[in-house]
Amino acid sequence: MEDWEVFASKARVRLTGSSDNSGTDEPVSALSISESKDIKSVSDGLRHFSDKDLFSLQSATLSALQDSGSSAIVQAHLAGLIAMRREMRRRWSEKSVEAPPDDPKNPDSPAALKPILIVEDNRRDLELVLEAFGQVGLDNDIVVANDGEEALSHLFTHVPGRSLPAVILLDLKLPKVDGVQVLRRIKAEPATRRIPVVVLTSSRDERDVEACYEAGGSAYVVKQTSFEDFVASVRSLAAFWARDNLTPP
């Protein structure tokens, strides 16, 4: 397997040159990984970065993602963001865990937290949602479904040990099975009807709003057009629905 310096060269990342926590004022290019198999090694290599440099790298990559013109470039930037998210998650877990992280007696441990299900087919919007969740500092596992059929399969296919989500963020305009149909199915089943479902969509159509609330949606949020407003909006959703809101056991 190639070492970190080779991966860094591929990703066009300027290394700090040391493994301590001293920052660097040199500019950082966007993290772009051409092959997903490189993600784990790149994530391990990010341990050389200070917190300041890691956040600068994330910011540069998010900005580049907004300007990405081809699907290949988008995928490469998303892979880079996933690598950074893994390293951030490792750092958060080291700083915040008092009891062993896999101790189910600790209510704040990852083992005791319910996952969050995001149903979104737009890759740019998905990454912005993940960015906002990261800023809140959630330790919940994130499950992503790219269409309505995949979301229903995840919810209603029995897998031993799989927990139902603490909250579902649901896009409305989805391939295969649209968001309203997904919402109706969730609320029709006794096992899932109490799960909060937040509809996150670009539609302002009053008929969509009415249909979602009639189907049992917990909230209807219109996606903001600007990057900053979008992230701020989802960050507030994450803080309330996934962290502060109590759900039935």
> Smallest Cα–Cα separation from 174: which of 98, 112, 241, 119?
119
Percent of the chain with pLDDT over 90: 24
Average pLDDT of the chain, as a whole number: 75
- Tell me what pLDDT residue 211 has: 95
CATH architecture assignment, domain 110-244 = 3-Layer(aba) Sandwich (3.40)
CB-based burial, 107-119: b 16+ in 10 Å, e otherwise: eebeebbbbbbbb
- What tens digit of pLDDT does each residue of 107-164 get? 443 334 788 899 998 887 887 787 777 776 667 788 889 899 999 999 999 888 788 8
Query: How many Å apart are CA 241 and CA 33, to the nearest integer?
Result: 32
Look at residue 26 in the predicted model and tell me its pLDDT: 52
Distances (CA, A) of 37 to 9, 76, 203: 16, 11, 36
pLDDT at residue 34, as a whole number = 72
Instruction: Please work out, in degrees rounded to the nearest 5, the angle formed at the alpha carbon of residue 13 by the alpha carbons of 10 and 15.
Output: 120
Residue 171, pLDDT score = 94
How high is the pLDDT of residue 4?
43
Structure tokens at 232: 């701020």
Q: Output the pLDDT for position 93.
A: 63
pTM of the model: 0.57
Q: Does residue 164 sit in helix, strand or coil? A: coil
Q: Can you give the pLDDT at residue 185?
A: 96
Give every residue of the chain whose pLDDT is below 50, as ranges: 1-25, 96-112
pLDDT at 94: 62
Residue pair 145/151 in contact (Cβ under 8 Å)? The answer is yes
Spell out the domain ranges in the chain: 4-96, 110-244
CA–CA separation, 147 and 145 (whole Å): 6
